[in-house]
Amino acid sequence: MIHKPRQFTPGPTAVLPAIQFAMATSTIQPGTSEFRALYTRVHIQLQQFLGTTHDVVLLSSSGTGAMEAAVSNLTSPGDRVLVLIAGRYGERWSALAKNFGCAVDEVIACHGQTFSPDAIKAALKLETRAVFVQATETSTGVQHDIAAIARLLKDEASEALLVVDAISSLGSSPLDIDILGVDILLAGSQTLMVPPGLSFLAVSESAWDRMEATYNARYYFDLRKERKSARRGESAYTPATSLIVGLSAALDVIAAQAIGDLAAGRRLLITNAETSAAMTRAALLAMGFQLFAPEASSAAVTAVIPPDGVDAAHLIDQLQLRFGTRIAGGHGELEGRILRIAHLGFTDYMDTIALIAAIEQVLASTILHLALGTGPVAAQKVYAEYSGNLSSEPATR
């Protein structure tokens, strides 16, 4: 049969044709009035999408560049910081902070788990200058309670700034950063249906104030330069123009789902991810998988342990070979132990059902007692409940 490529990896997400077309046909040039209008518009769109009044800065970099910018702009050598680690990307915060000379305290959660408030409270010190954490630990499928962490910092009257990596959480979980008191929230273009290469940060006034008192080395990633330039509709350095065009087009697509209301479009995107995640989990459980993070599952990505006798790498390969469908495995010590399925971007009902049916077809050749239809039926029931279409009355003709 013909294979329609489908991507369920935790970033980059599939790029929609409308976004591809906008990027391919743009002839916009930096330094022109046309570019300044676009650049200003994108910043306003990002504020609306993120639900913030804070200034937003754009960087021509991957998400790790934004992480480095957050560390280098907010700290000085010798500053004490707290890093919350529950997987591969939490470890990256720690490596970055150490690279910039910070004294790093760590709270480490086991893979598949999140942090206890008591552990964070015990690690927080009077001299802690910043707390770094993921909203979603994509390597394990865990969702951290950012609201609870923000409340703890407030209750403890801590002067630590809260920095949140939301690269895989945008469009999959509600993060009202102004209300919560997040000082920097950062993300990347790759989870908004745009190719990798752009990152952006929403920055609080407290964080801007901190930057004036820190002295870690920074040049390209000096957020103050980008803020000053953005107010003129310009980038401090050569911008990734095609990606900026693509980002604006992606935000237009999201807004169009809610009759032009970008904030409402983001809420729809979150509901879509939550529904797809719930459908997928119900189906996989019915087919004999186990949730890897049952107590703190993220709507961005589902991590599961395959049934006995099912090789994770073989399942990934067969999905790609037979159905043109890509999912992810585990990193490091989790390689070969778990599978990860993302629910980011415009992964809709049809995509989700197709993925579940494809997994079931691959499993049927390994688990002989698996009845075809087990997974899709479980997913259909969840979708009916989420959409309000489940009737207690039998269907009549």
The contacts of residue 232 (CB under 8 Å, 6+ apart) are 36
Contact 142, 298 (CB under 8 A): yes
DSSP state of 297: B
DSSP, collapsed to helix, strand or coil, labels residue 349 as: helix
Name the DSSP letter for residue 344. -
User: How many angstroms separate the CA atoms of 221 and 219, rounded?
Assistant: 5
**Long-range contacts formed by 377-384: CB under 8 A, 24+ apart:** 377/286, 378/282, 378/283, 378/285, 378/286, 379/279, 379/280, 379/282, 379/283, 379/352, 379/353, 380/353, 381/282, 382/275, 382/278, 382/279, 382/282, 383/275, 383/279, 383/349
**Region of 51 on the Ramachandran plot (φ > 0 left; ψ -120 to 50 alpha; else beta):** left
- Any residues with CB less than 8 A from the CB of 116 and at least 6 apart, and which? none
Residue 340 known to bind ligand? yes
Rg of the chain over Cα atoms, rounded to whole angstroms, equals: 22
Amino acid identity for residue 161 in this structure: L
The number of CA neighbours under 13 Å toward the Cβ of 140 is: 27
Q: Give me the phi and psi of 109, to 5 degrees please.
A: -100, 145
Cite the annotated binding site by residue number: 340
Cite the annotated binding site for substrate by residue number: 340
